[in-house]
Structure 1
Amino acid sequence: MENKKRNILISEKQIRERISQVGAQISKDYEGEEIYILSLLRGSFIYTADLVRNITIPTRIGFMTTSSYGNGEETTGTVKVVNDIPDDIKGYNVLVVDDIVDSGITMNFVMNHVKKLDAKQVKSCVLLNKPERRKINIKPDYCCFEIPDVFVVGYGLNYGDFYRNIPYVFNWEN
């Protein structure tokens, strides 16, 4: 893949600007309250770090690891909890943060899991939304960018175990 040309879909500057806007909106929507950010590892760690720096209200942060892709480009359709939520989230406003929602399977699974733990409210926040791939009817509450049905990497999204460190979102041209 590396010998193919990168097609930048979303630049580093566009990402920074949009995350600032989403962080401001979350701060406004939850003004006077506290939130618990639940970052889904590994893909969302970069997005979560940048997002929380743009949120101005009291914020707790926790991490959960799920797996449904392995090293492939297609979901297996089954979500496995690798590392569960480390904190008691009962009574919290929980914002589930992920890098991308495409099939909706993982986000739906995690949101239902969080609801069973008696969270006060559960909403979702994603960097990328790929609605053409939806298998479960779910719409992110907060979203930075909607993208077409293309395989993307960079800014936390990986191919194999690589490319998460690239500061923009791209795909390879054919």
Structure 2
Amino acid sequence: MRSEMEQDILKVLVTEEQLRERIAEMGEILYDRFHDKKPLFLSVLKGSFVFMADLVRACQVKSDVEFIAVSSYQNATTSSGRVQITHDLQQDITGRHLIIVEDILDSGNTLAFLKEYFLTKGAASITIVTLLDKPARRAKAITADLAGFVVPDEFVVGYGLDYAQQYRNVPYIGVLKPEVYTQQ
């Protein structure tokens, strides 16, 4: 496959095959937990859209999907700490079992904010599922209920994760070369 992004990747952290295998496992785990609850899969845009699509297919339960867009990075490489909702839910979640699908849990600012937000909106339960867990960056006391991979404190892109809205379509998780995001 041809790619004009390949030269910007320092190394592959999680391969396409590893992603497929782990997401299939995660789908089975979620099936066991939610097969009788008609959960609402809630994608945190934009980063989780690829993961969400694969995860929902891997978890064959009666469910529906919803999307919320938040911002805490504003094209930077670290979180500003301030979470802002840029696209809110389009349905009532009162009494619903939510599965929040996130691309990466690093500072925890976004997920701590969203968990509290959804509880105030009346969610029956909240399960946090993240593709990547980066505990070295945790600023808030929050953990995922289900995580795909633990990753080191490196700037990762691909499979939905971006830098300045680019690299989301890289089919694996890669470490971005520092010179790419330190250029002015």
The interval holding the TM-score normalised by the smaller chain is: over 0.9
The structural deviation recorded for 1:99 is: 0.2
Residue 13 of structure 1, aligned match among 11, 17, 20: 17
| 2:162 corresponding residue in structure 1 | 158
Matches within 5 A, 1:30-49: 30-49=34-53
Q: Distance in 1 between matches of 2:67 and 2:100?
A: 10
- Shift in CA distance, 158/4, structure 1 to aligned 2, threshold 3 Å: closer
Q: 1:133 aligns with which of 128, 131, 137?
A: 137
Question: Which amino acid letter does the alignment assign opposite residue 89 of structure 1?
Answer: I
One-letter amino acid of the counterpart of residue 157, structure 1: L
* TM-score, normalised relative to structure 2: 0.91
Summarize the alignment of residues 1-174 of structure 1 with structure 2, pairs less than 5 Å apart.
3-173=7-177
- Matched residues in 2 for 1:161 and 1:5: separation? 15
TM-aligned CA deviation for residue 31 of structure 1: 2.3
Contact 2:35 2:62 in 1 (8 A): no
Q: Identity of paired residues, percent?
A: 37
Shift >6 Å, 4+ stretches: none
2: distance between equivalents of 1:74 and 1:80? Answer: 15
Q: What do the CA deviations read for 1:66-95 (whole angstroms, capped 9, x no partner)?
A: 000011101001000001111111111001
Instruction: Give 1 or 2: higher helix fraction.
Output: 2
Q: Return the offset for 1:3.
A: 4.6
Per the alignment, do residues 132 and 87 of structure 1 end up closer, same or farther by CA in structure 2, a change over 3 Å counting?
Answer: same
Conservation of the 8 A alpha-carbon contact between 2:157 and 2:176: no
Deviations 1:129-171 (A, max 9, x none): 0011000011100110001111100000001121000110001
3-state DSSP of counterpart to 1:113:
helix
Query: Partners in 1 of 2:176 and 2:118 — Cα distance?
Result: 36
- Give the AA of the match of 1:160: A
Q: Which runs of 5+ in 2 are unaligned?
A: 179-184
